[in-house]
Amino acid sequence: MNPLLTSFDTAPFSKIENSHFKPAFLKAMENARKEIDGITANEATPTFSNTIEALEFAGQQLDRISSVFFNLNSAETNEEIQKIAQEVSPLLSEFSNDITLNEALFKKIKAVYEEKDQLELSKEQDTLLVKKYKSFSRNGANLTNEKKKELREIDSELAKLKLKFGENVLEETNKFEMHLTDAEDLAGLPDSAKEAAALLAKTKNVEGWIFTLDYPSYIPFMKYAKSRGLRKKLALAFGSKGFHNDDLDNQQHVLRIANLRFQRAQLLGYQTHAHFVLEERMAETPDKVHEFLNELLEKAKPAAMRELQQLQDFAKELDGIESLEKWDSAYYSEKLKQQLFNLDDEKLKPFFKLENVISGVFKVAEKLFNIRFEEVSDIDKYHQDVKTYRVSDEKGDLVSLFYADFHPRKGKRGGAWMTSFKPQYLKDGENVRPHISNVCNFTPSTPSKPSLLTFNEVTTLFHEFGHGLHGMLANTTYPSLSGTSVFWDFVELPSQVMENWCYEKETLELFATHYETGELIPMEMVEKIKESATFLEGMATLRQLSFAFLDMSWHGTDPTKTKSVKDHEVNAFKGTQLFPDTPETCMSTSFSHIFQGGYASGYYSYKWAEVLDADAFAYFKENGIFNTEIAAKFKEHVLSKGGTEKPMVLYKRFRGSEPKIEALLERAGLIKKAG
């Protein structure tokens, strides 16, 4: 019996073999089609219940199988899984199109939609109806048959291209190794980085040290390695992923994806892909996004230029560097930070043992939202590194299951993300609780040291956990409106707001103790962490803005005449460029967020959400960071509501007013605080 086709609650990882996936997908698609046929064959007058709700709960088996498979393809993949992904992605795209281009189904949805004002629906029902109608109209339901066929072909090709793009980036990352045998090349590196590199070399049966493009290996080298030549070598390798004119080259994929997205938008009656996407975002239009980005650029650029000059002067004084390059930035920033604040990541790391940080983030959630986390061993998992937890409320009732997967390995893509194995929803009187997962890539423990996090990694853990809370505390009726199913430029609010707690003395006192002595982190260190929070913030803001401008340049304009990915990129970066361009590198060819993930026309949302989170946290700061009344409002109006109403409506209910950009500019030190 195929375990994926049985009725399961927690994903039955240990019983699943790769050979189960494709048959399970095919059978689940067949079952879902029958459910859709049941809706269209119903001769009764279309109603909210027999059409909209029936459609909402159709295909749940397929959704569960998809969530298991695609999560594995990100966190525990192999060649066989990648091959299956290439085979099933076009089938799923075709299946999705079969639904959105089903005329009989759309006719019924349209009939209910046109009666909407007479139906006395709840706010959530109304939102679901509008969302269902738009998911059809925005995906070609009103097109002619010929144009529907064209749309299907575009979607099928896009599904394959996005997968291939991601596979190339992963293979490029895994392929590169910098093998060092001379101990002098390690000058400046902390012991933990050297030990991890020696361990990696040992597993490959070679002498010396191996450094890779995985973040836990790459970042410490760029920050601490004294050898400018080796930093350059590593930076150029990192920056040129997918840009070598070989089998793993992504340039043609970038151009093809951008062109297909543009073609698709035009087919649906939109000016560009960005116009199509932003219609369903808080920002609404490309003009508003550009206005927002330019306002931030205007405020951040003078600060960034001052900071760059300060960094240049410092590098020249210290090492006689005449012109700063990209591979110098992290190294001299770290040196300057140590000089200004006497704050060294390596001195902080002993206070951030991974297990303690996990315990700390759980305590923060307990204090704010009255939920408890208990590690359990009876939940099936896909890798031994994964930890599993039962989350309960003050009465002991189940809130969620939580999976945590924190270390890099060969079959796992880089970065950090939150995902779900099962959504929350209400059906037949039962509040079905979600299964949520956080995946990160933190330095693993070594024979002599436990896993110790940099402060940046601590904020990453809190960030992903914020997304996790959005999923765990969901309390809606419909799965497609639950948890993180919100407008894309609202989804980063719960994650980014959580990062703020990392800088607070009251929070750090909960978990930041030395892993050997048990000593609490010295409060002068806490003060320095807070002081250094705005260190080089102008430059950091410009970097984020450059990615957002690049995204909008690919998706907010007509790409049909673009021939060179590199030239296009250089042009997009003009207003935000701080360091000399390196002809060997190209950001776009490994910009997975927009060419593989869901951030196309949405990268600006990181800064957009920062405005929201700065404004939201200011509310906590005014009333106490563990104020349970404000936390209850945040849970009630933001975390639990998912996408049941427009984000600005929910935000204003929580905060009492719209967010102010000044909150972000003040926090970032880009403008002085009023008063």
Annotated active-site positions, please?
464
CA distances to 184, 186, 194, 346, 642 from 191, rounded to whole Å, are 14, 10, 5, 9, 44
CA distance 25 to 66: 8
What is the helix (H) or strand (E) element at residue 435, kind and residue range?
Answer: strand 435-439
- Both tokens of 74, joined, read 């990100």
CB atoms within 10 A of CB 258: 25
CA distance 137 to 266: 14
Count each helix (H run) and each strand (E run) in the chain, helices first. 27, 9
CA distance 167 to 413: 9
CA distance 401 to 403: 7
- The closest of 106, 105, 95, 112 to 142, measured between CA atoms, is 106
Pairing of strands 435-439, 398-405: parallel
Residue that is written with structure tokens 């404000």 in the block: 630
CA distance 166 to 86: 11
Task: Determine the residue type at 200.
Answer: L
Please tell me what DSSP assigns to residue 190: -
CA distance 109 to 114: 9
Residue 332 and residue 314 in contact, taking contact as beta carbons nearer than 8 Å: yes
For residues 136-158, one letter each, b for 16 or more C-beta atoms within 10 angstroms of the residue's C-beta and e for the rest, the string is: bbbbbbebeeeebebbbebbbeb
CB neighbour list of residue 25: distance below 8 Å, 6 or more residues apart: 62, 65, 66, 69, 88, 91, 92
Left if phi > 0, otherwise alpha if psi is -120 to 50, otherwise beta: which for 518? left
Per DSSP, the three-state class of 617 is helix
CB neighbour list of residue 149: distance below 8 Å, 6 or more residues apart: none
SS3 labels along 529-540:
HHHHCCCCHHHH
Per DSSP, the three-state class of 506 is helix
CA distance 452 to 385: 16
Task: Determine the residue type at 174.
Answer: N
Residue 404 and residue 468 in contact, taking contact as beta carbons nearer than 8 Å: no
What is the DSSP track for 302-359?
HHHHHHHHHHHHHHHHHH--SS--HHHHHHHHHHHHHHHH---HHHHGGG-BHHHHHH
